[in-house]
Amino acid sequence: MDLSYSPQEEQFRTELRAWLQRNPPGPEPEDLDEWVRYGKRWQRRLYEAGWCGIAWPKEYGGRGATLIEQVIFQEEMAQARAPLLINLAGLTMGGPVLIAHGTDAQKRRYLKPLLAAEEIWCQGFSEPNAGSDLAALKTRAVLDGDDFVVNGQKVWTSFARYADWCMLLVRTDPDAPKHRGITFLLADMHSPGVTVRPLKQISGAEDFNEVFFEDVRVPRANVIGRIDGGWEIAITTLMHERATLTFSRQLQSRAALDEMIRFARGWQRDGRPALSDPLIRQQVAQALIESAAIRYTAYRSLTKTLRGGGPGPEGSIEKLFWSEMYQRQLETALAIEGPYAQLLKGSARAPADGEFPYLYLYSRGRTIAAGSSEVQRNIVAERVLGLPRGK
Ligand SMILES: Cc1cc2nc3c(=O)[nH]c(=O)nc-3n(C[C@H](O)[C@H](O)[C@H](O)COP(=O)(O)OP(=O)(O)OC[C@H]3O[C@@H](n4cnc5c(N)ncnc54)[C@H](O)[C@@H]3O)c2cc1C
């Protein structure tokens, strides 16, 4: 593992840092509608300055950044406290999938508005009875002339009510084995027959949604790849989701940890700063050790990818460790606040504006999204440790 940067990479960092100093993102609004407007403005600014979709090839409007440059980009964005990009699903999954499997006409039509946040994308994969076992999905699409007619329901669709396009997995051949007969469609979220209902999460946020499709017509021209060949494309999509996340995840948890330590220095318990309590100190030290461990694990898998190994099943170890570590870290934050941790965002006396209880509640989803902990443990057992398959 070589942790030094080449002169070009240093140059990339200097340029980006200078741009961020001239263009600070500013504080994130609390209200989701306002946050979406803010997120679109921020992504648009990045796009205009050539800092959006940096991993995409230049011919499609990206910057053709190397993996190390992508890591530098994430580090600098975390340092500048920049928000997650509003079109994250489109940028990390939709764009790369279109570039790999889309027709020229589809690339011309969709890539630029996606990059510029003129059109927001969402991911319509999960259903009430198809999450971990995604291939069990039941949403049907039947060809009628030049259109597919879609009927069914998706759930947990992040940002669906702000989305213009949905990466939609549908069953087009109900008689085929379950991994076949699935097609990847790009559905217009403004089509007649699409109903989006927000779901309120335990954290109070409402970025999840249920999406109902009732006789929704999707042109055949919006098939990505081939009809009944959607499973392979879905897998590529999820690989993109997993491959690019490890680095930003560990930076995100590290930022919350630094914030927590700052808070613990100033927060008084029994007339002393919370950080002077030996039990709190021990938990904070453990969190710092785990944070360093995930950082170096992320670097190790980066090195493997740079040497041509590609992200393998070890990614499951990282995802598992990171998500559970992040939850432990936020439990420590709540222990530091003590009984005050019960005061949520919006409460006048909530310490740190209720940020830690909010992050704690939000972090519950981290052991579910992008493959639950149980599913990751199965992968580690079978594909890393070579244990026999469970029944
Ligand atoms: C923050 C967040 C954002 C999300 N955004 C989106 C989105 O934008 N679009 C989208 O399509 N989906 C999204 N999802 C949904 C996510 O993909 C699913 O929640 C996930 O795949 C798990 O599926 P499920 O909720 O149906 O749970 P299930 O698969 O029903 O699992 C229920 C429980 O059973 C366990 N389990 C399941 N199978 C096994 C097994 N084989 N062995 C052992 N245990 C098992 C699970 O670990 C879990 O504890 C999001 C989820 C979260 C938390």
Residues forming the active site = 241
The pLDDT of residue 38 is 98
Higher pLDDT, 92 or 248: 92
60: nearest Cα among 5, 18, 115: 115
> Quick one: pLDDT band at residue 391, thresholds 50, 70, 90?
low
> Which of 93, 122, 126, when mutated, tests ligand 1's pocket best, judged by the most ligand atoms within 8 Å of its CB?
126
Question: In this predicted model, what pLDDT tens digit does every residue of 315-339 receive, in sequence order?
Answer: 888 889 999 999 999 999 999 999 9
For residue range 358-368, list pLDDT tens digits in order.
Answer: 999 999 999 99
Name the percent of the chain lying above pLDDT 90.
Answer: 79
Burial track 243-254 (b if 16+ CB lie within 10 A, e otherwise): bbbbbbbbbbbb
Q: Which residues in the chain belong to E strands, given as ranges?
A: 121-124, 140-144, 147-155, 165-171, 182-188, 194-199, 208-219, 223-224, 268-269, 272-273
Mean pLDDT of the region 221-238: 92
Is residue 369 within 6 Å of ligand 1 at its C-beta?
A: yes
Residue position matching structure tokens 């699935």: 182
Q: How far is the C-alpha of 38 from the C-alpha of 27, rounded, in Å? A: 10
Distance 146 CA to ligand 1 centre (A): 34
Residue 299 has pLDDT above 90, yes or no: no
Residue 389 sits at φ, ψ, to 5 deg, of -65, 140
Segment 64-78, tens digit of pLDDT:
998 889 889 998 998
d(CA 304, CA 308): 7
Write the pLDDT tens digit of every residue in 161-203: 999 999 999 999 999 999 999 999 999 999 999 999 999 999 8
What pTM did the predictor assign?
Answer: 0.93
Is the CB of residue 365 below 6 angstroms from any atom belonging to ligand 1? yes
Question: How many angstroms is it from 372 CA to the middle of ligand 1?
Answer: 6
Neighbours of 320 (CB within 10 A): 20
Is 373 within 8 Å of 320 (Cβ atoms)? yes
Determine the pLDDT at residue 165: 98
What separation in angstroms does the CA of 226 have from each of 60, 182, 185, 222?
Answer: 22, 10, 10, 10
